[in-house]
Structure 1
Amino acid sequence: MKTLKNIKYIGLLAIAIGFTACSDESDFEEFLDQPPTDAAVLPSLTAGSADFSNFVSLGASFTSGFTDGALFIAAQENSFPNTLSKQFANANGGVFTQPLMNDNIGGLLFGTTVVANPRLFFNGAGPSVLPATPTTDITVSLAADGSIFKNVGVPGAKSTHIDFNGYASLNPYFGRMANPASVSMLEYTIAQNPTFFTLSEIGGNDVLGYATKGGDGTDPITPTATFDFVFNDMVNQLTAVCPNGVVTNVPYITDLPHFTTVPHNPLDPTNPAFGPQIPLLNSIFGALNPIFEAVDPARAIIFSETAASAVVIRDESLADISSIIIAQLNASPTFPAFIAQFGLPAAAAPLVANLLGTTYGQTRQATASDLLVLPSSSIIGTVNTANVAILMGQGLPQALAGQFSVEGVSLPLEDKWVLIPTEQDEIKTATDAYNATIASVASAKGLALVDLNDILGQASTVGVDFDSYNLTTDLVTGGLVSLDGIHLTARGYGLMANKFLEAIDATYGSNFVASGNVAIAEDFGVTYSPTLQ
């Protein structure tokens, strides 16, 4: 890591040029003792009241250096705690150790079975999984030889996992370092008797799991009361042995490109797989729209032949009008003629009415207020083969079953692909509550606080400056967020390290920033080559 720790004066180039004008060595020495009057003198580094001799970092994926959908050596070396440790080393900081993976492929093996995929790389068009096989076996313990690691960053850890005994058996990233296996992450950290700690992104995974699953309820948000208890408890235990440290709050994760990259209206009429189908689709929904208009005009579904159209989604917050649709279609004297265009006999009318009712009872087209998760980009417009099989089992011909099984078009996107406004509100409410607790605890304990929420919010609007770079949350091009749309790039983690240093300076009276002991943007890239393995 480059720092300015060995440069006494900014304006070194002017000094070097001046050397050529000096007549002898004594003249040069005198020149160094009397720098140019316009040179900015950097003060010597001071640690203030903090003791960095035994720094331990506790947290989740950001702490570990997780990036591009995986953990791998190069990413770990660029983790924000490792970057901090290099600056702390200039203020009597000790050795900082990390539970390194086997390679730069990323991913995990259980014996010969791949249980976590390799990292992503940019293939020129977008993110793609590295075509390689992981070599890091989760059955191999790094702690077998007694090794202890200062970076206790565990991808996937929620607040409730931090002091959970036996978590090593559930999370292989912690399992590789835990000794004994029954130790909790918090116990593992405290046992090292740290003199300074960071406690980062606690609470992030408590809402992230819910969000990445589209709020479908399979990974619920941690209740505020639970978070309050566990966060207070872990900080109380930490500060009982180490009173000095830094905590972070939780960003609004819906500002991340995982939730902002896929547009709500990706259906392009010039797409040869979609455009020619628009008249038929509008004919189908034309039979339903009068019912929608009577119940709720916002449910009407119309595909444009000249502009991009929104996908069709299932919105569980809507009243289920399946029975109304079924009754109205069965009562319509024109409905048998309608289904005849699909080659179906009049006797099939009840079957099709039931199909349309159960499929579109809680549907609408997406709006700009809905957030589609990043993986939905590979689903929209594809045929759901499982749904085809179900419809064929109900008596529909395969071709027709396929027509009614196109994701986001004739088959509404499931809840797991979309965060509707009410689900976004749940995430924001929980995040605000977590952050109120974090701020209160940090203040009461005299800990430094890094406002990740403000940083990410700024990055999602005007961008955040890091030396000569302006980092934004745009996927691939923004420079802050990695290819998985959630975790940071190496440069993003470098920026994060500097934000920690700013907070440490403000709280403990150190002067890392003023003395030039900071991360330099140029030292960190934003992508890793696919040849790096």
Structure 2
Amino acid sequence: MKNYKYIGLCLLALSFASCDVNNELDTIPEEVVAEVELNVNGLDFSKYVSIGASFTAGFTDNALFVAAQENSFPNILAGKFGVEFNQPLMNDNIGGLLLGGNVIQGPRLYFNGAAPAVLDATPSTEVTSPVTGSLNNFGVPGAKSFHFVAPGYGNVAGVSLGLANPYYARFASSGTSTVLGDAMAQSPTFFTLSEVGGNDVLGYALSGASGTDQTGNFDPSTYGSSDITDPVVFGNVFNSMVSTLTAGGAKGVIANVPYITTLAHFTTVPHNAIPLDAATATAVNSAYAPYNGGIQQAFAGLVQLKLITQAQADAEIAKRTITFAAGQNAVVIVDEDLTDLEALNPAFAGLKQYRQATADDLLVLSSSSFLGTLADPNNPASVNGVGVPLADKWVVTPEEQLAIKTATDAYNAVIENVASSNPNIALVDFKGVLQEASSGIAFDGYTLTTNLVMGGLISLDGVHLTARGYALMANKVLAAIDSKFGSNFKTATGGLAKAGDYPTNYSPTLR
């Protein structure tokens, strides 16, 4: 019993002793982060103007609206520059435009939990109601390079005729003014010139390359809206714009043109988007059997006439033979680069330029709602993409992608030469940013990709950036300014935009 007694006394003693212990921990002092003052190294941002197209305007989710404009990369830059920045703000957060009370541009998109959808609302911004007052943002959605120096591009009377831009018509200083002229009227001390050249190939791509590559045609007045701009035309315009902007000593940043076919608009819809069961596949194969047999006979005849070699015939027969199986199947498309058999011989009538898509083909985003619909509501066999091949406007083929890349490379050669030869110009490698984002680009604690909806960089239209994407773009501009002009935005306290301050989507309740 004594042993238990002593143990109990010891425990009691310990419990008393514990009452005398100081359990309060010393306060850990907060880490003090040294403030780093911004040093612009003599740059004059007092009259900053931005010139460009959709990205400069803040276009997102297939529309321009107030919240998006406030999150445009030029407005973010102006905040970091600490200067006033006036924009031709829309009337609402619905997006879209009215011309004489008629809707000519629809509302913005929003994510309905399954896919992008059009906001159920009516635009209130009227093109014929001009924006007045001094402006800093001259971003014009849809503008091609030569449009920035085209008199009358903002003439309201030309909007309904397709001769003027409705966004520029809202804030053009007159019916004969130019975008560049209006910007220069502000006497800029610093400028950004961005995405000039993007629309010169984007219209072609968005149309499924149904336009014309105008390389060699130096008269842009003859171009269609979906045509590729000749690189010489682009070069003349771009050099002239930069020379004009820097003539008074202003400094600025220019951006090169990304490979637009890497954007979600062209990479979201798979080439093999047709699911079939075995019975349906067999029925479709039977329907295409005469076409496949005709192709084989036609090329056999061409070989016999020694118009092509057997190897050439075999390659084109393999490319043009259409077969389906149970599971996912490639869509059937029209490919204008295939041999036009009908033109070679009237006996080949009916042997169209059909083939099935491959992973090298790019289907435009809008094809997702068209595939599987009926060309003829009374004919269940007229399924678009199966029984009825997709027309040129739905697909960008490898040959058409090459035309886009060739033009883009030519534009970028001009842009990079301007940057390297002008000490007042910094260059942003926007092409490199988009290429990196294809696999993932870090922005603070986030990884942004070019994937639709969930990628965080590209908005719901598959082409334009999200607010967070524009913030990243602003930071790339600030980094370029540091590198060229010796400022310290990258290291200054609050010198860069923070990813978490900018959304990747807007609520449908935002009106």
Q: Given the two structures, how large is their TM-score scaled by the length of structure 1?
A: 0.81
Q: Distance in 2 between matches of 1:486 and 1:158?
A: 16
**Any idea what the Cα deviations from partners look like across 1:448-504, whole Å, max 9, x if unmatched?**
10001000001012x111100000000001000000000000000000000000000
Aligned AA for 1:114? V
Match of 2:413 in 1: 436
Corresponding residue SS for 1:423: helix
Q: Distance in 1 between matches of 2:481 and 2:239?
A: 21
Tell whether the 8 Å contact from 2:50 to 2:74 is kept in structure 1 after alignment.
Answer: yes
How far residue 172 of structure 1 moved from its aligned partner, in angstroms, is 1.3
Match of 2:363 in 1: 372
Tell whether the 8 Å contact from 1:322 to 1:362 is kept in structure 2 after alignment.
Answer: no
Match of 1:288 in 2: 291
Match of 1:53 in 2: 46
Alignment of 1:127-526 (within 5 A): 127-143=116-132, 147-169=133-155, 170-217=164-211, 219-269=226-276, 277-293=280-296, 295=299, 296-305=317-326, 307-322=327-342, 327=347, 357=350, 360-385=351-376, 399=379, 403=381, 405-446=382-423, 447-461=425-439, 463-516=440-493, 517-526=495-504
Corresponding residue SS for 1:128: strand
Tell whether the 8 Å contact from 2:188 to 2:250 is kept in structure 1 after alignment.
Answer: no
Q: Distance in 2 between matches of 1:427 and 1:506?
A: 30
Give the % identical residues. 53
Tell whether the 8 Å contact from 2:154 to 2:174 is kept in structure 1 after alignment.
Answer: no
Corresponding residue SS for 2:40: coil
Tell whether the 8 Å contact from 2:94 to 2:107 is kept in structure 1 after alignment.
Answer: yes
Corresponding residue SS for 2:442: strand
How far residue 325 of structure 1 moved from its aligned partner, in angstroms, is 9.7
How far residue 181 of structure 1 moved from its aligned partner, in angstroms, is 2.4
**Any idea what the Cα deviations from partners look like across 1:58-107, whole Å, max 9, x if unmatched?**
10000000000000000000000000000000xxxx31000000000000
**Any idea what the Cα deviations from partners look like across 1:198-226, whole Å, max 9, x if unmatched?**
00000000000000001111511000110
Match of 1:99 in 2: 88
Q: Distance in 1 between matches of 2:398 and 2:245?
A: 37
Aligned AA for 1:283? S
How far residue 383 of structure 1 moved from its aligned partner, in angstroms, is 1.4
Q: Distance in 2 between matches of 1:236 and 1:280?
A: 64
**Any idea what the Cα deviations from partners look like across 1:112-160, whole Å, max 9, x if unmatched?**
21100000000111000000000001111112xxx12101000001100
Q: Given the two structures, how large is their TM-score scaled by the length of structure 2?
A: 0.84
Match of 1:338 in 2: none
Q: Distance in 2 between matches of 1:524 and 1:532?
A: 15
Q: Distance in 2 between matches of 1:323 and 1:181?
A: 48
Q: Distance in 1 between matches of 2:198 and 2:448?
A: 21
Which of 106-115 and 448-457 deviates more? 106-115
Larger RCO (CA within 8 A; separation ≥ 6): 1
How far residue 324 of structure 1 moved from its aligned partner, in angstroms, is 8.2
Corresponding residue SS for 2:84: coil
Q: Distance in 2 between matches of 1:278 and 1:322?
A: 28
How far residue 279 of structure 1 moved from its aligned partner, in angstroms, is 2.1
Tell whether the 8 Å contact from 1:288 to 1:325 is kept in structure 2 after alignment.
Answer: no
Which of 117-126 and 510-519 deviates more? 510-519
Q: Distance in 2 between matches of 1:236 and 1:99?
A: 26
Match of 1:26 in 2: none
1:66 and 2:30 aligned: no
Q: Relative to 1, partners in 2 of residues 1:292 and 1:212: Cα closer, same or farther, differing over 3 Å?
A: same
Q: Which runs of 5+ in 2 are unaligned?
A: 1-25, 156-163, 212-223, 300-316
Q: Distance in 2 between matches of 1:475 and 1:408?
A: 22
Aligned AA for 2:384? E
How far residue 320 of structure 1 moved from its aligned partner, in angstroms, is 1.4
Aligned AA for 2:94? I
Q: Distance in 2 between matches of 1:286 and 1:324?
A: 22
Corresponding residue SS for 1:167: coil
Tell whether the 8 Å contact from 1:71 to 1:106 is kept in structure 2 after alignment.
Answer: yes
Q: Which runs of 5+ in 1 are unaligned?
A: 1-19, 23-30, 329-353, 389-397
Q: Distance in 2 between matches of 1:42 and 1:326?
A: 79
Alignment of 1:7-86 (within 5 A): 21=27, 41-86=34-79
Corresponding residue SS for 1:241: coil
Structure of higher CA gyration radius: 2
**Any idea what the Cα deviations from partners look like across 1:345-364, whole Å, max 9, x if unmatched?**
xxxxxxxxx6xx1xx51010
Q: Distance in 2 between matches of 1:171 and 1:67?
A: 18
Aligned AA for 2:333? I
Corresponding residue SS for 1:207: helix
Q: Distance in 2 between matches of 1:298 and 1:287?
A: 16
How far residue 182 of structure 1 moved from its aligned partner, in angstroms, is 1.4
Corresponding residue SS for 1:187: helix
Which of 76-85 and 103-112 deviates more? 103-112
Aligned AA for 1:299? R
Q: Distance in 2 between matches of 1:429 and 1:135?
A: 41
Q: Relative to 1, partners in 2 of residues 1:117 and 1:21: Cα closer, same or farther, differing over 3 Å?
A: same
Corresponding residue SS for 2:432: helix
Corresponding residue SS for 1:427: helix
Tell whether the 8 Å contact from 1:148 to 1:177 is kept in structure 2 after alignment.
Answer: no
Aligned AA for 2:475? N
Corresponding residue SS for 1:222: coil
Q: Relative to 1, partners in 2 of residues 1:112 and 1:277: Cα closer, same or farther, differing over 3 Å?
A: farther
Q: Distance in 2 between matches of 1:109 and 1:277?
A: 46
Q: Distance in 2 between matches of 1:220 and 1:122?
A: 31
**Any idea what the Cα deviations from partners look like across 1:294-335, whole Å, max 9, x if unmatched?**
532211101111x2100000000001124789847xxxxxxx
1:108 and 2:97 aligned: yes
Q: Distance in 2 between matches of 1:418 and 1:221?
A: 16
Tell whether the 8 Å contact from 1:49 to 1:509 is kept in structure 2 after alignment.
Answer: no
Match of 1:395 in 2: none
RMSD: 1.8
Q: Distance in 1 between matches of 2:416 and 2:500?
A: 32
Q: Distance in 1 between matches of 2:284 and 2:480?
A: 56
Tell whether the 8 Å contact from 1:158 to 1:205 is kept in structure 2 after alignment.
Answer: yes
1:527 is aligned, of 484, 491, 505, to: 505
Corresponding residue SS for 1:57: strand
